[in-house]
Amino acid sequence: MTIETLQSTFEMHQAMNVEVFYWWCTAIMFMIHTGFLAYEIGASRVKNALTSGMKNILTLSVIIPTFYFFGWWIYNAFPNGLIPIDASEALPWSLSMGPDVEDMGTGIFFAAFALFGATTGSILSGAVIERIRLSAFLILAVILGSGVWILAGAWGWHPEGWLLTKLGYHDVGASGVVHAVAGFFALGVLMNLGARVGKYKDGVAMYIPPHNLPMSLIGLMMIIVGFFGFLGGCIIFNGGETGWTTIYGNPTNLSAFGFNTLMGFAGGVIGAYLTSREPFWTMSGGLAGIITVAAGLDLYYPGLTFALAASGGALMPLVGRQLEKLGVDDAVGAVAVHGFCGFYGVVLVGVIASGYPNVADLPNITFTGQLLGAIVMALVGFIPGYGISYLLKKFNALRVPPQVEVLGLDLVEIPAKPYPETVPAYKVVENTLEPGQEKLV
């Protein structure tokens, strides 16, 4: 065997390793959606259980093709802002967008990014359960999952994105570009969608118990499993001598992510338990902790990660309850978990890791750059979320009629029953509790 043959064989195996890595990251990311499915079904009342599940299943099915139609192009075309650069190879009629013997990268990166997009749709999905029209939700999910977040991704999660090249923005685990964007988009939608019937009495928030809290808890733990695929997919597996880098080109490795993902999970759970004592918030704390530290996952000392994640986990239920008092009926706390912790996580990098260098002549990480980046992420999510849901509301296309909501969406829309041999869904049309009574449930 000649040196040339050996080199060619080695390079082929390197390229195959890259493919294998992202293949399994994508597969594991599906566990996020398995988790969201269980989580949202469980969080719904029994009269809406299957509708919530159907919404979640269809979220994936509409974001994947639309991400192929235009999402991948947006990522490649808009790193400079709102004026596109030539990215014709990412258009769906390009020869790069299909099987090619010599291209072992495009398809697998498209797949991973499509699943990131689907995650944003699922974040929105939980917040709006039990009263949004399926048609309106799918429109919003496509705009978020195949448009809005990936525009933010082009700006802050691209080697040439302007947030990186101008501000030194650092967000390796997508605290901002995925979680803050999706959380603030959800906030905009919730402001127009309004609360569920019976959620508020005389301005006081009632407690609407999940019909299956254990299912929700298991779902949340599945999302944590999926996060390992998600965060693995955030690392660049380079061929040649470079090895692992972040999406910004600085060296990192799975070991760094291993330390800090686990410490982030643990800190978040403990923080949320300390301020809530409640299982739904406590389990959500695992997500909140990881999201809080995701932006600096490659940089933090694990002891610091644990403390930061605990702070995010502790603050998250307080933010959720405050939003509830302000009239925002977020059924699963998505704005607090993803919006607040995503924003907080990006800013924390500026507080803690200011002065870290970026590669080549890119600007260093700064507090100002991170703060501005976090504000950009929040606005990129909130403005379209609010604006498009406002238009849908004006056309009476956002929310189901109140009579349908009281009857339950499953009875009206779904030709199946979730638990046919136990409680008929239509028998349980209301289930709300006064403040404080939830402790007896």
Partner 1 sequence: MSSPITSWEGATTYFTFADNPLAMAVCLAAAVGVFVYLNVSIIRHEKAVFDKHLSD
Sites of contact with partner 1 (CB under 8 A): 62, 65-66, 69, 92-93, 95, 98-103, 133-135, 138-139, 400-401, 403-404, 407, 412-413
Smaller CB separation from partner 1, 218 or 407: 407
**Residue 69 Cβ, how far from partner 1 at the closest point, in Å?**
7
CA atoms within 13 A on the CB side of 425: 25
Smaller CB separation from partner 1, 47 or 170: 47
**Spatial distance between the Cα atoms of 133 and 190, rounded to a whole number of angstroms:** 13
**Residue 144 Cβ, how far from partner 1 at the closest point, in Å?**
16
> Reduced to 3 states, what is the DSSP secondary structure of residue 123?
helix
Give the residue carrying structure tokens 């002549």. 361
Smaller CB separation from partner 1, 95 or 326: 95
Smaller CB separation from partner 1, 129 or 290: 129
**Residue 154 Cβ, how far from partner 1 at the closest point, in Å?**
23
* CA angle 338–251–365, rounded 5-degree value: 55
CB 144 within 8 A of CB 182: yes
Amino acid type, 25? C
**Could you write out the three-class secondary structure of 160-209?**
CCHHHHHHCCCCCCCHHHHHHHHHHHHHHHHHHHCCCCCCEECCEECECC
**Spatial distance between the Cα atoms of 200 and 69, rounded to a whole number of angstroms:** 41
**Residue 150 Cβ, how far from partner 1 at the closest point, in Å?**
17
Smaller CB separation from partner 1, 134 or 433: 134
**Residue 66 Cβ, how far from partner 1 at the closest point, in Å?**
7
Q: What are phi and psi of 237, to 5 degrees?
A: -95, 100
Smaller CB separation from partner 1, 91 or 433: 91
CB 328 within 8 A of CB 386: no
Residue whose C-alpha is closest to residue 210's, from 148, 150, 295, 130: 130
**Residue 238 Cβ, how far from partner 1 at the closest point, in Å?**
23
How far is residue 116 CA from its own chain's centroid? Answer: 7
